[in-house]
Chains A and B, each alone.
Chain A
């Protein structure tokens, strides 16, 4: 294996395009674990942390652009970002231990392609856009449109995600992310939910987005669950309709972390609990 430090994204793209088995290294908390467990290394490991801007959180059009090499800990320490998108930040901060937080990146969590990735539902619910650099130049796509299946994204050959843009938060808006794990820490999500809400002047839900993680081949929007919340103040009927819509949207697997039955049951629980947190963050009262 060769280890190279890319100086700019063009170089990183060129290195990805050599035809070798190349992988990107940002926080390394997925790629290095995989190398260890699988006992094999790629031909080329491209460190992208030195690329200008990749380690920055910058304001843009009232929102935030998060570079591909920004760690979870850095996001958690960014007060303005946390105030605007608390759900996204809390999702990123749930990835692994404090030690892992020191390195793991949100973009890496996205590109790893796990259906259980914590940050992905939160980014989707926030309407996050990924900036993609590739041989054909730069393009922006919704995070949701990048997902393909377990371990896969829709990134093309030699493409990389250089940053994620979180749009400006609206007034009376709130987001939240919750996951279920068997312990209180150190586990992979068994089922998770991100909810983003915008309230009207009466504190009624005007807009909603509900995304589930770990219950399908990718994180999924649940439009019916969102629709159940719109027009409500999270009354019990609205919440149970939301939960039922979540259950209906699940197509999970049985594995060592949870059963189909269990994941289906708790997806709605996570969604309704996250909805309540988002509602409060948006200024609503329960």
Chain B
């Protein structure tokens, strides 16, 4: 594996930076075209209701209204997953949660569209609803969809239970019998939202001939194309989707909510349609993450060895069948090398918006519960929390709790760095506690396409298919420059639309720097091969007798030294005469993404009179394999930590008895603000991933996993009482003091 890098590890200015600090960058809602209509969506005020009738006549008659649609406008689709997505975008027959779309309008202005919504008459017949995961699992609970219950489950759980998974090995009874101390606890965590600052937005133009253009804020424009073309019954080739700059996603923009609606309205009106969600709609009708109810049982010897571990995870994922608890069950005990372990999980539907990914989806709550119990065991047995974790830590060769055997991983290195850090030995002020937690994420590979052109002036144009959500164009340009042996600013990477480069999976799973990176290196290698061929042609020697060193072709073998090296720019300049344009491309589906572990350490102070928790110091250690652009790696670690702190302390979806969301805004859905946080020190650990030529691991998601338990453990030490539910908002803390 390459070790001596010229460009990797430096901190160049990102290529899209200038546009973003001057307001020029075009996000989802920033594009307009002449003749465009504005759309609005009418949403259910009920948690669960039969839609008896919808009368759109008055709205259609309003001057300026060009199209009104309801669920009836969408023809059925064969694929059940796509059908659910479609029905999440526009209810058919039943409204399944507060905020579920029931109709939409396109009109000449926002004001007319808003006026038209008020003229749509919907007759609802309310139905019983359920929003809590434990209640939703009980036999007799209102069932969201019949016939989708997991086949392996019996009558002890309701039909809302759509998935069951179990991972592990060994024998739990044996494991617990070997323990000196066994602790069993039940936890609850609230649903939280990704909280991206940019609401979903799109501009759709779909003609009667089935040809369409769609501009939208998404983590995956190919995904949007596939889903929308299926829902609209048009050919994928006819729908060109362009990803705007994306104003945050964190997993929340890995599906569609409004794009099929805008396309259908455009088709019906025969004009381009712009559709932008309000913040209230984002909270009520996009895809928050799961709430959970979790049982954890862990046994430990006096020396700190974990002898047995069992997790039961019950996740609430909203109004349609979904699969995500599996990720939690696989993550729960991933940090530990265990002989007897089992993690089980149940996916459950409720009358809430359907969940979608949120940064390491499914892992934070599972790991929160596990790491809380590990901390309690250490407390009870008088053990050092880092030493204990080191004693049990997964390492290269460990058979993971979810099956595979780990290759080179960096958990031990992260724990050792944490132990050696001055933070760990710093004295603590009164009412302050220090919490530690491990965290884990798998990281994905997946399908990817990269096309690289060597321009005649010696610059490089690279097209890739993954929306840049946090600086990936910089890291991809850096990897291209490193692979080609040229300067960073000679490369320009752009995110192509769906017609300009091959399919690419969604920007998720911390996969972009890994997978697009591999494709970029392979595309560069293809271009290098061609450039060597051109040099060989010019020199009139065998192509095999040319090698690529430091950005130039040079003769090798018995021709070595016969000609001076010929740079990329020189080869490019004559390419028109040596065989035409030079390019490289790669399409593939790399795996071996390489898992990533992190360890977070936090000092929290709890006001004993109010239950208010403040974060006094925060240090995060994470193995990232190889940090391409360390500043953006630090940013990923800091951002995930901040989101996890919000999850731990104040963020929650609050539902009333009526099943309606009570806090659909940034006023009462309380994400951390600048004054809530201290500086967050990010310590980068680099244990190279053997599955990537430069050693890269994904790094974006692991950072949200440890903060929940780190903060909870800190609070437990600060107040001497352990909390078993998130968020640990001040009223809950004061109650136990």
Contacts and interface: CB of A to CB of B under 8 A. Distances in A.
A190 to B, nearest CB: 8
B735 A262 contact: yes
Contact of A261 (B662, B666, B668, B731): B731
12 contacts: A37-B665, A180-B730, A182-B612, A183-B672, A183-B676, A185-B676, A186-B666, A187-B670, A190-B730, A259-B731, A261-B731, A261-B735
Nearest to B609: A269
B667 A188 contact: yes
Given A180-B610, A257-B668, A186 B735 contact: no
A256 B650 contact: no
B420 interface: no
A184 interface: yes
A262 B662 contact: no
A37 B280 contact: yes
A262 B667 contact: no
Contact of B729 (A182, A185, A186, A269): A182
A186 B667 contact: yes
Contact of A182 (B650, B665, B666, B735): B650
Interface string A1-42: 000000000000000000000000000000000000101000
Contacts of A37: 280, 665
Nearest to B40: A39
Contact of B673 (A39, A185, A255): A185
Contacts of B280: 37
A88 interface: no
Interface in A211-270: 255-259, 261-262, 265-266, 269
B150 interface: no
Given A186-B666, A255-B662, 17 more contacts: A37-B665, A39-B114, A39-B118, A180-B730, A183-B650, A183-B670, A183-B672, A185-B675, A186-B667, A188-B667, A256-B662, A257-B668, A261-B735, A262-B730, A262-B735, A269-B609, A269-B610
Given A182-B729, A188-B667, A257-B668, A265 B673 contact: no
Interface of B: 114, 118, 280, 609-612, 614, 649-650, 654, 662-663, 665-668, 670, 672-673, 675-676, 729-731, 734-735
Nearest to A243: B609
A254 to B, nearest CB: 10
Contacts of B730: 180, 182, 190, 262
A45 to B, nearest CB: 15
B119 to A, nearest CB: 13
Contact of B734 (A183, A187, A188, A266): A266
Nearest to A37: B280
A265 B733 CA distance: 12
A149 to B, nearest CB: 21
A186 B675 CA distance: 10
Given A39-B114, A186-B667, A265 B734 contact: yes
Contact of A183 (B611, B662, B673, B731): B673
Main secondary structure of the interface of B (DSSP, over half): loop
The 3 closest A-B pairs by CB, nearest first: A262-B731, A184-B675, A269-B609
Contacts of B611: 262
A40 to B, nearest CB: 9
A262 to B, nearest CB: 4
Contacts of B662: 255-256
Interface string A181-201: 011111110100000000000
A253 B37 CA distance: 44
Contacts of B610: 180, 266, 269
Query: Which bucket holds chain A's interface residue count?
Result: 20 to 34
A262 B666 CA distance: 22
A188 B669 CA distance: 12
Nearest to B118: A39
B734 A262 contact: yes
Identify whether the interface residues of A are mostly helix, strand, loop, or mixed.
loop
Interface of A: 37, 39, 180, 182-188, 190, 255-259, 261-262, 265-266, 269
Nearest to B666: A186
A259 B729 CA distance: 11
Contacts of A187: 667, 670
B735 A256 contact: no
Nearest to A273: B609
Contacts of A188: 667-668
A48 B530 CA distance: 73
B673 A266 contact: no
A186 B673 contact: yes
A256 B673 contact: no
B670 A256 contact: no
A182 B734 contact: no
B719 to A, nearest CB: 15
Contacts of A262: 611, 730-731, 734-735
Nearest to A187: B670
A262 B609 CA distance: 10
Q: Which of A182, A261, A262 has its CB near the most chain B CB atoms (within 10 A)?
A: A182
Contacts of B649: 182
B731 A256 contact: no
A261 B663 CA distance: 21
Contact of B676 (A184, A257, A269): A184
Q: B650, B662, B668, B672: which has the most chain A beta carbons within 10 Å?
A: B668
A261 B672 CA distance: 25
Nearest to B733: A262
A208 B510 CA distance: 59
Nearest to B668: A256
A180 B673 CA distance: 16
B72 to A, nearest CB: 25
B731 A184 contact: no
B673 to A, nearest CB: 5
Contacts of A266: 609-610, 734
Contacts of B654: 256
Contacts of A184: 614, 673, 675-676
Nearest to B665: A37
A261 B611 CA distance: 13
A186 B672 CA distance: 10
Contacts of B666: 186
A183 B665 CA distance: 15
A237 to B, nearest CB: 17
A72 to B, nearest CB: 17
Contacts of A183: 650, 670, 672-673, 675-676
B636 to A, nearest CB: 23
Contacts of A39: 114, 118
A281 B392 CA distance: 56
A182 B280 CA distance: 21
Nearest to B611: A262
Nearest to B729: A182
A218 to B, nearest CB: 21
A182 B609 contact: no
A187 B614 CA distance: 16
Contacts of A269: 609-610
Nearest to B677: A184
A261 B670 CA distance: 21
A66 B654 CA distance: 39
A81 to B, nearest CB: 25
A251 B675 CA distance: 31
A185 B676 CA distance: 8
B342 to A, nearest CB: 37
B731 A258 contact: yes
B699 to A, nearest CB: 28
A255 B667 CA distance: 14
A186 B280 CA distance: 17
A187 B673 CA distance: 10
B316 to A, nearest CB: 19
Given A188-B667, A262-B730, A180 B735 contact: no
A232 B672 CA distance: 40
Nearest to B117: A39
Nearest to A254: B731
A180 B607 CA distance: 12
A10 B610 CA distance: 47
